[in-house]
Chain A
């Protein structure tokens, strides 16, 4: 049975980025920032490719909502092996998960996908939300933060990490899953893949985001931690550390 799989992918600042607020005080200054495919979405793309290939065929479609610059992110996924891409083009992204989910759900509706995959979270807004929201809007079963997955005969079993344990969840297809680290080891695009990606179809569709009721008042750097101190060297410094933790910081 060929599988038709959609993967939603986001362009985000690289994890090494030093964040600087922009002049408007509500977003980050993008000057000099390197952007990458969201690391959790790499797990989702990898899983889609393996499932397609394991099923002996099908299609992997990658979708990204963002500015024209997200075409590069889509090309990265195409170079990994996805079949075609869709850019849902908007000027600026807002940290409003439901606004994003509504646009994604509209595009995915009626697409006859067996699986719709997301990352567990986007490492810029940390919302952890767009996947399960899309699932609710499309009324599809959903498992979030999946670290292990088995599919068989139109059904699946997924595992997800919870505090001090692992939940085992059974679901039926079609389904929405969000990928966590541990699900697989994403491949690096090979040169051949990079060349092939240039010729793969990439549709651009303009979209409008409408707010669900979140307004950014400010994006600021967190308060600097006040400078600490070295209490000493070697094991003989232990009593001084304990003293400080008990009487100064009052945490012991």
Chain B
């Protein structure tokens, strides 16, 4: 009869899509444990939380305070721990985002319970939670049984498809916990024209040294725009060369991504790059070298000069979209 507590993320007062993924995973666990789902939202006052019922929350608890607009580790952890102590859930579920990767371990330490990070699948087996999670940069997959109650689970973005399971949740307010004076988030610096992050995008167009020079990434920006809402990623070679920011790097020392579609352009497919994107649902490779290792893991490949192929691809997708 254990329930599940889900930590909902907002940015600028808008709930993030990854939170519906976390809610969906929480619903799976709660149904198997015959418990209910509580969604906890910390953020500024007045966030529209009505969508949380759509994705299966039975109860919504809001800590709404201007001081919680940005992620404040101490206060956020205090809010979740307070709710967890009240409800004694079977699991606390977060998204494995920058926030969740910071908050999840803090919660597990405060609650004295097990943490499973970056989980791609959850289940309940004979009353106990089991999870799958990649390790060794995606070169291996752990199946773990969790024996502590509660436990903290962070769900890797794009690994669970949000499923609508309409409820009419009870909404409650929680007084905002005090900020921790010893560590305070004071600002978020956003690059101009804030873009989709590779870790969250459902389509990624990635470029490597084959692009020849930084200005040519414009070709990939155009392709990403034609597809719509796609992010532009990069190999380490071009990040190290200073062509692209580190935030865009995909791979073992960059981001691990699992989009629906990953298009690798002028990327050879080194083992450290593949480690970061092998969980993409569909991989496309465009490379002039027929023997490039990237073709070994690609679902579809085109051999040839990217400077001829990419513009054509952009053009045809535009036509398709104009339909």
Residues of chain A having any CB pair with chain B under 8 Å: 13, 15-19, 21, 28, 39-40, 95-98, 101, 123-137, 140-145, 147, 159-172, 175, 181-182, 211-222, 225-226, 228-235, 237-239, 241-242, 244-246, 249, 251-252
Instruction: Evaluate contact between B252 and A15: CB separation under 8 angstroms.
Output: yes
Q: How far is the CA of A101 from the CA of B113 in the complex (A)?
A: 12
Q: Is the CB of A229 within 8 A of B114?
A: no
Closest to A173 in B: B182
* A225 to B283 Cα, complex, angstroms: 10
Check B300–A231 contact: CB distance below 8 A: yes
In the complex, the answer to whether B137 meets A126 with C-beta atoms within 8 Å is yes
Among residues of A, the one whose C-beta sits closest to the C-beta of B197 is A163
- Are the CB atoms of B261 and A125 closer together than 8 Å? no
Check A238/B144 contact, CB under 8 A, given A123-B137, A168-B186, A229-B300.
Answer: no
User: CA of A96 to CA of B105 in the docked complex: distance in angstroms?
Assistant: 11
A214→B295 contact, CB < 8 A: no
Contact between B190 and A164 (Cβ–Cβ < 8 Å)?
Answer: yes
Cβ contact within 8 Å between A218 and B200: no
Would you call A228 and B300 a contact (CB within 8 A)?
yes
Please give 10 more A-B residue pairs, beta carbons under 8 A apart, in addition to A238-B302, A245-B300.
Answer: A15-B253, A95-B144, A142-B73, A163-B97, A164-B191, A168-B188, A182-B246, A214-B146, A218-B142, A235-B308
User: Once the chains bind, are B301 and A245 in contact (CB under 8 Å)?
Assistant: no
B74–chain A nearest beta-carbon distance, Å: 8
Considering the chains assembled together, what is the distance between the CA atoms of A133 and B295 in angstroms? Answer: 41
Task: Give the complex CA separation of A181 and B254 in angstroms.
Answer: 8
User: Which residues in A have their C-beta under 8 angstroms from that of B278?
Assistant: 222, 225
CA distance A216 to B131 in the complex (A): 10
What secondary structure prevails in chain B residues at the interface with A? mixed
Which of A16, A98, A215 touches B115 (beta carbons < 8 Å)?
A98
Residue ID in chain B nearest A156 by CB atoms:
B183
Q: Assess whether B139 is in contact with A228, with CB atoms less than 8 Å apart.
A: no
A168 to B71, CA, bound (A): 11
Which of B11, B108, B282 is the one whose CB lies under 8 Å from A97? Answer: B108
Q: Chain A residue with minimal CB distance to B198?
A: A163
Is the Cβ of B303 less than 8 Å from the Cβ of A249? no
Check A233–B303 contact: CB distance below 8 A. Answer: yes
- Contact at A235–B197, with CB atoms within 8 Å? no
Residues of A near B203 (CB, < 8 A) are 251
Residue of A nearest to B311 (CB): A235
Question: In whole Å, how far is B287's beta carbon from the nearest beta carbon of chain A?
Answer: 10
- Nearest-CB distance from A227 to chain B (Å)? 9
Q: How far is the CB of A224 from chain B (nearest CB, A)?
A: 9
Q: Which of A17, A168, A246 has the most CB of B within 10 A?
A: A168
Residues of B within 8 A of A233 (CB): 302-304
Inter-subunit contact B290/A215 (CB<8 Å):
no
- Docked complex: B58-115 residues within 8 A CB-CB of A: 70-71, 73, 77, 97-99, 101-102, 104-106, 108-110, 112-115
Which residues of chain B are within 8 angstroms of A167 by Cβ–Cβ distance? 70-71, 98, 185, 187-189
Interface residues of B in 172-225 (CB under 8 A from A): 180-191, 194-197, 199-200, 203
In the bound complex, do residue A234 and residue B308 qualify as a contact, i.e. CB atoms below 8 Å apart? yes
**What 5 A-B pairs come out closest when comparing CB atoms?**
A213-B148, A136-B109, A129-B105, A141-B183, A213-B114
